Amino acid sequence: MIRKFTFGSPLSTDAVTVSTPVCTDSFPYFSLTKTSSFLYHMDDKTRIYGLGEAVRGINKRGWIYESFASDDCDHSENKRSLYGAHNFLIIDSEKDLFGVFFDYPARLTFDIGYTLSNQLLITPLDANLDIYFIESEDINDIVTQFRQLIGQSYIAPKWALGYGQSRWGYKNADDIRTVVRRHREEHLPLDSVYLDIDYMEKYKDFTVDENRFPDFSSFVEEMKQENIHLVPIIDAGIKIEKGYSIYEEGVHKNYFCKNEDGTDFTAAVWPGHVCFPDFLNPAARRWFGQKYNILLTQGIDGFWNDMNEPAIFYTPERLAATLQELGDYCGKNLGVNEFFELRDKIKDLSNSDVDYRSFYHNADGNILCHDKVHNLYGYNMTRSAFEAFEELLPEKRILIFSRSSYVGMHRYGGIWTGDNMSVWGHILLTVKMLPSLNMCGFLYIGADLGGFGENTTEDLLLRFLALGIFTPLMRNHSALGTREQEIYQFEKTDAFRRLLSIRYGLLPYLYSEYVKASLKGKMLFRPMRFVYPEDSRAAGIEDQLMLSDELMITPVYEQNAEGRYVYLPEKMRMIRMRSLTDYDTVLLSAGDHYIDIPLDTVVFFLRPNCIIPLSAGGENITEVSGISLKLLGYVTDTACYVYYDDNGYEKDYNNPAHYNTIRVDPTGNILVTGERTLDLTIASI
C-alpha cells in the first residue's frame, strides 16, 4: 500500500509517475519536531536501507547523510554527500517495516542515529515536500511498489553490458586505435571505448577536435567494423565563445540559467567560462537534447553525462572578489590561522553554496533559485538526452549514463559512481552501493573498475574486475596522470583474459536478469536480508550479495588475501571459476566456510533448484550466442529459469518471443517452452 502526504506546496520533481491522491490519515511513524524535522524512534535492532549512492554500509544506520549532489572525488567515510540524491529509505525492525520516499529537490539531511543513536531525524531545507509511505510485509515488495510508483528503469542496449575501456587522457584517434588493437591482439574481449573531454574542441560540447580526430564519422565507422562502440562524454557547461553556435543559440533563446538580474549566469569549468543550460525549462531541455543528434548522425550510439551536479570550479565574480581579498594578505607576516584562512578562501571557490544560491531556473514560467532544485539538475540533463533519443530514434536503444542523479532519472539512464580511487576499500564500497542503488531504481550501474584516482595495482584491478563482471556497466576508467591501467599494461594478461571470459559467459544470464529486473521492478543486487528474512546472521552481512534469485557473490576486497570467510544461509553449490571452461563445483552446507579464492579466480554460489544459462563466450557481444547455451545449476528437485533475450537494441521487451522457460530435473532432462528454439546442454547440475 502507498500513502502520500503533502506538506506546504512542493515543487514538482517528476520523480513519481503514478498520480497518487493525498492521504488524509494522521501522519504515520514520524513526528514533526518544532524545527520542522521528521523524527522516528529506532529500536536497537532497527536497520535502515536505501539512500542509493552514498558512503558507508548497506545498513545506513550510524551516520549523517545529506542529499546534495556534490562533485567530490574523496569518497571517504566521513563524507555526507556524493553525486546523487536518492531519498528513499526502508525502515526494518521488529515493530515496523516500511519504505519512505521524501520527494524533495533541495538539500535534505538524514541523521540516522548520528546525533542520538536511536533517532532517525530527517530535515529538509524548508517544509514543502511530498512524502510517500510504502507498506508491505515483504521487504522486496516494498521495493517493487516503490519502483512501480517511480516508473520503469532505463534499459541499456545489450552491447553496453560488454567490457568497456576508458581513460581520461586518450589524446587522439591513434590512442584509441592502440587500445582496441592491444585488446584484440591479446584476445581480451572489448565492446566499447570511452572518449573523455579531450576529444572535444576546447571542451565544447558536441564538437570534435579535427586535429585529434580527423574525419570523425569514418573513425566511428572504422571502430564499428571492429565491433567497438565509441562513447563520448558530454559536460553540463557550455563554453562562452563568440561564434560557437550552441552558446549563441542558448543566449538568443534564453535557455541558460540566469543571475538574479536576468543576465546569463557565468561559471568556470573545463572550457573556461561557461553558461549552464536550464534543464528545468522544458524548451531548453528539448533544445539541448536535440544537440546529441550532432553525434548520433556521426554514428555514435552511447554517451556519458558528466559535471552535472553541476560542478563549478569558480565563478568569475567570486574569483575576482577573492583575489581582491587575498591582496590584503600581501606583505603581512601571516600567522598560521590567517594562512589557513587564505588557503580556504581558494578552496571555497569550488562547488560553493553561495554560487548555488545565486542563479535561477525558469521551470514553466516559475522562476526558481537553483539551491531549491539543486538535485534535479543532472537528472534533467540526462532526461533531455533520453527524451531526444526517443524522438530521434524511437526504435533504438542508446546508451546513456550520468554522474549526478535523482530518483526519477533511473527512467532515462544509468549512472556510474563517479571518481572513486584505486584503493581496496572502494571495492567494498561498490558492493554496498549496488543494492542501495537498485532499491532506488538504478539498474544500469557500475564503478570505475581499477579505481579512478591514484595509482592502481595489478591485484587491485583483478579483484575490482572480479566484482565488475557482475555489474551491468563494466568499465575500466582512470584519471589523467595516474598509472595506466588498461589490462594489457600488466603482466598477468592470461588471468585478465580468463576473468573476462567469465563475464562474456555470464552475459546471457546477466542480460536476462537485468532486463527482467527493470520490467518487474526488482533488484539485481540484493542484501542477504532481502532473500533470507528469517536468518539473523544473514541480515548483518554486508560483504556478500545475492544476485537475482539464483546466485550469491562474495568478492575479495583485501590486498594479499588468498580467500575469505563466506556465510551460507542454506546449502549451496559453489562454483570456482578460473575461466569460463575451467572450474570446479562443490556442494557446501549452510554455515561458515573459509573459501580459497586465488587472485585469478571468481567464486559464486548457486542456490538450490536454480540454473543459469552460460554462453560459450566471445571477444565482443556480437560473438556471444544467446541461443546455444550451457546450463549450470544446482538441481535437487526441479529448477525452472525464465530466460529473456532479444536483439539487444529494439524495445519490444514484452514480446513473448523473447521469453523461454527452461526446466531441468536432477537427471538432466531439459524441458523448454517458448517460440524460440534454444540449443541447450547441461554443463553441470
Site residues (vs ligand MIG, CB under 6 A): 168, 196-197, 233, 306-307, 403, 418-419, 477
What CA dihedral angle connects 403, 488, 560 and 566, to 10 degrees?
60
Q: How far is the CB of 420 from ligand MIG (least distance, A)?
A: 9
Nearer to ligand MIG, 89 or 307 (CB): 307
Q: Which has the closest alpha carbon to 543: 639, 463, 629?
A: 463
Closest to ligand MIG by CB, 270 or 359: 270
Question: Which residue's CB is nearer to ligand MIG, number 67 or number 482?
Answer: 482
Report in angstroms how near the CB of residue 526 gets to ligand MIG at its nearest: 28
CB of 309 to ligand MIG, least distance (A): 10
Residue (101 or 379) nearer to ligand MIG, CB: 379
Name the residue nearer to ligand MIG (CB basis): 240 or 269: 269
Which lies closer to ligand MIG via its Cβ, residue 168 or residue 653?
Answer: 168
Residue labelled with grid coordinates 567497438: 228
Nearest CA to 547 out of 519, 522, 570 is that of 522
Q: Nearest CA to 545 among 561, 519, 524, 563?
A: 524
Phi-psi region of 153 (alpha: psi -120 to 50; beta: other; left: phi over 0): beta
Q: Which residues pair with 367 in a beta bridge?
A: 362
Enter the DSSP assignment of 230: E
Q: How far is the CB of 231 from ligand MIG (least distance, A)?
A: 12
Q: Find the shortest distance in angstroms from Cβ 238 to ligand MIG.
A: 15
Q: For residue 404, what are the CA distances in angstroms to 199, 274, 410, 443, 531? A: 22, 18, 11, 15, 30
d(CA 177, CA 228): 10
We find the least distance from the C-beta atom of residue 678 to ligand MIG, in angstroms, to be 39
| 624 phi/psi in degrees, rounded to 5 | -90, 115
Q: How far apart are CA 473 and CA 161, in angstroms?
A: 6
Q: In this structure, are residues 406 and 279 in contact, taking their beta carbons and an 8 Å threshold?
A: no
Closer residue to ligand MIG, CB minimum distance, 170 or 287 = 170
Q: Minimum distance between the CB of residue 203 and ligand MIG, rounded to whole angstroms?
A: 9
496 sits in which H/E element: helix 493-520
Q: Which residues pair with 402 in a beta bridge?
A: 305, 415
Cell numbers standing for residue 277: 543550460
Residue 204 · residue 235 · CB < 8 Å: no
Our CB check for ligand MIG shows the closer of 233 and 664 to be: 233
Q: Which residue, judged by CB position, is nearest to ligand MIG in the bound state?
A: 168
Calculate helix-pair angle for 458-468, 425-439, nearest 10 degrees. Answer: 20
Coil, strand or helix: which one is 680? Answer: strand
User: Minimal distance in Å, beta carbon 24 to ligand MIG?
Assistant: 45
> Is 524 within 8 Å of 443 (Cβ atoms)?
yes
Shortest spacing between CB 557 and ligand MIG, in angstroms: 22
Nearer to ligand MIG, 465 or 545 (CB): 465
